[in-house]
Chain A
């Protein structure tokens, strides 16, 4: 579960459990990512053909764009998906209301009394529902009424008859019982044609699609009917619904779809039906995708990989068909052989080879020597692949002007790192831009910095390459106005190196270095200080505390600064340890971890939180965070972040020992509650011991660790506080303990 969902759940849970005033969940924080995996970091630029680093994890519409652009075709502005919109059921629309008003006004009371309320939605036997009668049906009925009112005259009996027939049609929208318009009693040719049409429509909405299709075809054959041009088109719609509406498609679904296609082709050939042509073409695409999916897939692939422009629906259909072809839908299995999916279809072959990391990618590159297949092959080739040398040579020849340059440059470095050739990787990186905007976009530069971070040969180099730039805010509730994220950040992969690949002394060195921007430097300094307190390493603690005290300049941090100065100035180690513990107890934002990926909440707060968070309980820490998350390192190396090259074997052993010691301290609340209890037992009249106990009890409540371990610590701390310091303000303020 990713972090914004965890927060969302926490917010919902707090609201529902703690108060009855819950109206809605939120706000939802956005993750500030430095690399995107499923979409381009700069969608607008991507639509213009500025590809950046193309990733196999991209949605296929973006890979299709990459295929075109890498092959020299003009980019598709339509590659960006339209924002999804909600279409209300017809019964909540103005057209519905207009028709209902007509019905109410025009029908005699006795007729109206026989009608049931109209629901445009139909509920099926499997409890599902669909919008049976669409808004356009009610709009068309209202328009037809006006036309017939002009023809017959207001209050004419035939007009009333027509309205009664149409009202009967709409009775079928939500009802499970067929309601047919009454037969006409006056031989009026126009009304007869209308009644034939209404009857066919009634069968259609009653989901009796075969009967409806037959009647619509009969109308198509009636040259005297004003509805003739609609006949074949509506027959096709009936046939398509006969396949899509039932819970289980009929056995002859393919034949029905084929018949629908013939009806739609006939509609396109009918010059009197031009108003229906656009819709017929759309339905033909729909029918082809369902009736001849593989053929349609290749047809669309051919269009996407060669046409100057592609309709948005074609991209939607292509990606839908790819999901089907690869079994990536609710069915879970593909109905096709993969060879048939890719045969004779270079676009589909390229996408499958890139995403599935198929050996075929290297073979195809060897056959074509194209930049398209070079990209696919470099994502795919294992470091031991005999072709890697040739791939690296080819990558070196890709000019900076090529749309493949950013991808190939990154992949070249990646492959060298994976081949355990950091010297060559560093040489390549040295010739690549050292800032965004010098021919590479922000995300590409982040990726290059991640590579530099990985092959750094000194702490100085590593710190120089550590900062990243936010490329996108990702979450369910993004800001209305895109924000400018200008502050330096980094991702979980960078934090994981500090957290699990460096010993305390290195952390302190990093904190003391001025290479890092202030907010990132502080992240390292506070983790070093916290670890120093837990590991009883006063000299490291003093160095880290000095850095923190110098960086925390805001008036609101005066208390923390004072604690840090007391820690630095303590005259004996036992006192220093107690002050360290009290500093941790009183500063909920301190942690043994260097913070990783920002969200828009953490981005706004550069310094550690001083009070316990209640709504978002990010207090203290639970364990050492060593996961690279979805940071750039996951695209470079596999199996977690490696030790930096300059970390010696002795340091690696020291790091392991420290991590074991930190693990042994348990969660923050366990360590701090136990420390407070020990303190109070040893110094029975120390007023600061009362403070430590009270803060430990409060902090226990607001811990973010859900370890499910039952502990006696909060009860013991509570008992000790009230037994030993009954008259203290801390005891008076602490009325409960929480397990």
Chain B
């Protein structure tokens, strides 16, 4: 499966860890120049022209499909219509698949990093976000990829990653990642969410990387105390003025 694809990434992890981009980003979590309310716009026709500049859009810009040592870039298929004033974050989703085979090239990680960093070239994009549910065995490789993306972006471009809630609650593997924020996904968690509900209610719970933002979903509203945190809102249905209104209520 995609573990195999990431083996090669692990091989170059050491090389990348020596790169200058490994230096920590010298920026407070809340200094990322994006609004406190961000709407996730996934792969469907989306019209959010009615938003004011206080609400941003994190849109799926592309999906990287990793199979063995090959990476396929599948760009967004559906239109996104936004006001010129809307701050945009380009999201890259990483998905695995295929059979495990030995891979030895560093081209894959470089290609992935270039593709992710390349979304900054899209019009009016202010930062990038990586959405990858990395398995435990993939963390070293994922770390290397994040480091490479940071190197490609430079230190000033906001770099966000989504995080499984467990990464923020007790599993502190993200320490030292050169990111601006990790967004714990506090939805689709089912009955095992007890350790993670605290992340929604407290601004000081969880790993430091996770204290600047959180992710929730309109169809699974949690009791959230956002504080100064940035809130990303997912909507399983198309965005409408009414659902945007409900997203604003999440922040309130």
Binding site for B on A (CB under 8 A): 9-10, 12-14, 16-24, 88-89, 92, 121, 123-130, 247, 330, 617, 701-704, 706, 738-739
Contact digits for B93-131, partner A, Cβ 8 Å, 1 yes 0 no: 000110000000000000000000000001100000000
With A13-B190, A13-B192, A121-B75 given, name 8 new contacts (CB 8 A): A17-B189, A17-B192, A20-B139, A20-B166, A123-B75, A125-B123, A127-B122, A130-B77
* Cβ contact of B196, chosen from A17, A247, A739, cutoff 8 A: A17
For the complex, what is the distance from the CA of A22 to the CA of B1, rounded to whole Å? 12
Residues from chain B with Cβ under 8 Å of A123 in the complex: 75-76, 122
Residues from chain A with Cβ under 8 Å of B194 in the complex: 738-739
Residues from chain B with Cβ under 8 Å of A127 in the complex: 59, 61, 76, 79-80, 122-123
User: Looking across the interface, which residue of chain A has its beta carbon closest to that of B185?
Assistant: A16
B249 interface hit (Cβ, 8 Å): no
Contact between chains at B76 and A20 (CB < 8 Å) = no
Contact between chains at A128 and B77 (CB < 8 Å) = yes
With both chains docked as a complex, state the minimum distance between the C-beta of B11 and any C-beta of chain A, in angstroms.
20
- With A125-B123, A126-B80 already in contact, the answer to whether A17 and B164 are too (CB < 8 A) is yes
With both chains docked as a complex, state the minimum distance between the C-beta of A155 and any C-beta of chain B, in angstroms.
30
For the complex, what is the distance from the CA of A488 to the CA of B50, rounded to whole Å? 55
Contact between chains at B135 and A22 (CB < 8 Å) = yes
Contact between chains at A16 and B122 (CB < 8 Å) = no
Q: Which of B120-149 contact A (CB under 8 A)?
A: 122-123, 133-137, 139
- With A14-B192, A129-B76 already in contact, the answer to whether A20 and B171 are too (CB < 8 A) is yes
User: Looking across the interface, which residue of chain B has its beta carbon closest to that of A739?
Assistant: B194
For the complex, what is the distance from the CA of A20 to the CA of B132, rounded to whole Å? 11
For the complex, what is the distance from the CA of A21 to the CA of B192, rounded to whole Å? 15
**Would you give 9 A-B contacts (Cβ < 8 Å), ordered by A?**
A10-B191, A13-B188, A13-B193, A16-B166, A17-B196, A21-B137, A128-B77, A702-B191, A706-B191
Residues from chain B with Cβ under 8 Å of A738 in the complex: 194
For the complex, what is the distance from the CA of A124 to the CA of B189, rounded to whole Å? 35
- With A9-B188, A617-B191 already in contact, the answer to whether A126 and B75 are too (CB < 8 A) is no
* Cβ contact of B135, chosen from A14, A18, A20, cutoff 8 A: A20
Residues from chain B with Cβ under 8 Å of A125 in the complex: 123
Residues from chain A with Cβ under 8 Å of B77 in the complex: 128-130
B14 interface hit (Cβ, 8 Å): no
With both chains docked as a complex, state the minimum distance between the C-beta of A703 and any C-beta of chain B, in angstroms.
8
With both chains docked as a complex, state the minimum distance between the C-beta of B83 and any C-beta of chain A, in angstroms.
13
With both chains docked as a complex, state the minimum distance between the C-beta of B203 and any C-beta of chain A, in angstroms.
21
B81 interface hit (Cβ, 8 Å): yes
Which 7 pairs show the lowest CB-CB distances between chains A and B?
A13-B190, A129-B75, A126-B79, A17-B189, A128-B79, A127-B80, A20-B136
Residues from chain B with Cβ under 8 Å of A13 in the complex: 188-193
Contact between chains at A20 and B188 (CB < 8 Å) = no
Residues from chain A with Cβ under 8 Å of B167 in the complex: 20
User: Looking across the interface, which residue of chain B has its beta carbon closest to that of A18?
Assistant: B192
For the complex, what is the distance from the CA of A127 to the CA of B122, rounded to whole Å? 8
B72 interface hit (Cβ, 8 Å): yes
- Chain B's interface: helix, strand, loop or mixed, by majority? mixed
User: Looking across the interface, which residue of chain A has its beta carbon closest to that of B72?
Assistant: A92
Contact between chains at A17 and B122 (CB < 8 Å) = no
Number of interface residues of B (CB under 8 A): 39
B45 interface hit (Cβ, 8 Å): yes
- With A17-B166, A22-B133, A22-B135 already in contact, the answer to whether A247 and B190 are too (CB < 8 A) is no
For the complex, what is the distance from the CA of A17 to the CA of B196, rounded to whole Å? 8
Contact between chains at B193 and A17 (CB < 8 Å) = yes
For the complex, what is the distance from the CA of A124 to the CA of B123, rounded to whole Å? 10
For the complex, what is the distance from the CA of A18 to the CA of B75, rounded to whole Å? 31
Q: Which of B51-84 contact A (CB under 8 A)?
A: 59, 61, 72, 74-81
Contact between chains at A17 and B165 (CB < 8 Å) = yes
For the complex, what is the distance from the CA of A703 to the CA of B80, rounded to whole Å? 41
- With A23-B96, A127-B122, A702-B191 already in contact, the answer to whether A16 and B133 are too (CB < 8 A) is yes
Contact between chains at A16 and B188 (CB < 8 Å) = yes
With both chains docked as a complex, state the minimum distance between the C-beta of A672 and any C-beta of chain B, in angstroms.
17
Residues from chain A with Cβ under 8 Å of B171 in the complex: 20
For the complex, what is the distance from the CA of A17 to the CA of B59, rounded to whole Å? 24
For the complex, what is the distance from the CA of A14 to the CA of B191, rounded to whole Å? 7
Residues from chain A with Cβ under 8 Å of B135 in the complex: 20-23
User: Looking across the interface, which residue of chain B has its beta carbon closest to that of A12?
Assistant: B188
B2 interface hit (Cβ, 8 Å): yes
For the complex, what is the distance from the CA of A702 to the CA of B139, rounded to whole Å? 30
- With A17-B190, A17-B193 already in contact, the answer to whether A89 and B74 are too (CB < 8 A) is yes
With both chains docked as a complex, state the minimum distance between the C-beta of A515 and any C-beta of chain B, in angstroms.
39
For the complex, what is the distance from the CA of A240 to the CA of B2, rounded to whole Å? 40
For the complex, what is the distance from the CA of A739 to the CA of B123, rounded to whole Å? 47
With both chains docked as a complex, state the minimum distance between the C-beta of B53 and any C-beta of chain A, in angstroms.
18
Contact between chains at A19 and B166 (CB < 8 Å) = yes
User: Looking across the interface, which residue of chain A has its beta carbon closest to that of B1?
Assistant: A23
Residues from chain A with Cβ under 8 Å of B80 in the complex: 126-128
With both chains docked as a complex, state the minimum distance between the C-beta of A331 and any C-beta of chain B, in angstroms.
11
Residues from chain A with Cβ under 8 Å of B78 in the complex: 128
Residues from chain A with Cβ under 8 Å of B81 in the complex: 126, 247
Q: Which of B140-199 contact A (CB under 8 A)?
A: 164-167, 171, 185, 188-194, 196
For the complex, what is the distance from the CA of A92 to the CA of B67, rounded to whole Å? 12
For the complex, what is the distance from the CA of A19 to the CA of B74, rounded to whole Å? 28
Contact between chains at A21 and B136 (CB < 8 Å) = yes
Residues from chain B with Cβ under 8 Å of A126 in the complex: 79-81
- With A12-B188, A739-B194 already in contact, the answer to whether A18 and B79 are too (CB < 8 A) is no
- With A123-B122, A125-B123, A126-B81 already in contact, the answer to whether A16 and B189 are too (CB < 8 A) is yes
- With A16-B185, A127-B80 already in contact, the answer to whether A9 and B190 are too (CB < 8 A) is yes
Residues from chain B with Cβ under 8 Å of A617 in the complex: 191
Residues from chain A with Cβ under 8 Å of B76 in the complex: 123, 127-129
Contact between chains at B123 and A20 (CB < 8 Å) = no
- With A9-B188, A23-B1 already in contact, the answer to whether A247 and B164 are too (CB < 8 A) is no
For the complex, what is the distance from the CA of A50 to the CA of B25, rounded to whole Å? 68
For the complex, what is the distance from the CA of A126 to the CA of B122, rounded to whole Å? 10
For the complex, what is the distance from the CA of A453 to the CA of B64, rounded to whole Å? 54
Residues from chain A with Cβ under 8 Å of B61 in the complex: 127
For the complex, what is the distance from the CA of A27 to the CA of B97, rounded to whole Å? 16
Contact between chains at A20 and B134 (CB < 8 Å) = yes
Residues from chain B with Cβ under 8 Å of A22 in the complex: 133, 135, 164
For the complex, what is the distance from the CA of A18 to the CA of B74, rounded to whole Å? 30
For the complex, what is the distance from the CA of A23 to the CA of B134, rounded to whole Å? 8
With both chains docked as a complex, state the minimum distance between the C-beta of A381 and any C-beta of chain B, in angstroms.
36
With both chains docked as a complex, state the minimum distance between the C-beta of B58 and any C-beta of chain A, in angstroms.
12
Residues from chain A with Cβ under 8 Å of B137 in the complex: 21
User: Looking across the interface, which residue of chain A has its beta carbon closest to that of B70?
Assistant: A92
Residues from chain A with Cβ under 8 Å of B136 in the complex: 20-21
For the complex, what is the distance from the CA of A622 to the CA of B194, rounded to whole Å? 20
Residues from chain A with Cβ under 8 Å of B164 in the complex: 16-17, 20, 22
With both chains docked as a complex, state the minimum distance between the C-beta of B85 and any C-beta of chain A, in angstroms.
16
User: Looking across the interface, which residue of chain B has its beta carbon closest to that of A738?
Assistant: B194
User: Looking across the interface, which residue of chain A has its beta carbon closest to that of B189?
Assistant: A17
With both chains docked as a complex, state the minimum distance between the C-beta of A692 and any C-beta of chain B, in angstroms.
22
Residues from chain B with Cβ under 8 Å of A701 in the complex: 191
For the complex, what is the distance from the CA of A21 to the CA of B188, rounded to whole Å? 16
User: Looking across the interface, which residue of chain A has its beta carbon closest to that of B195?
Assistant: A17
For the complex, what is the distance from the CA of A706 to the CA of B123, rounded to whole Å? 43
With both chains docked as a complex, state the minimum distance between the C-beta of A620 and any C-beta of chain B, in angstroms.
13
- With A20-B136, A20-B167 already in contact, the answer to whether A10 and B75 are too (CB < 8 A) is no
Q: Which interface residue of B74, B75, B139 has the most chain A CB atoms within 10 A?
A: B75
With both chains docked as a complex, state the minimum distance between the C-beta of A191 and any C-beta of chain B, in angstroms.
35
With both chains docked as a complex, state the minimum distance between the C-beta of B80 and any C-beta of chain A, in angstroms.
4
For the complex, what is the distance from the CA of A128 to the CA of B164, rounded to whole Å? 28
For the complex, what is the distance from the CA of A19 to the CA of B135, rounded to whole Å? 8
For the complex, what is the distance from the CA of A738 to the CA of B192, rounded to whole Å? 10
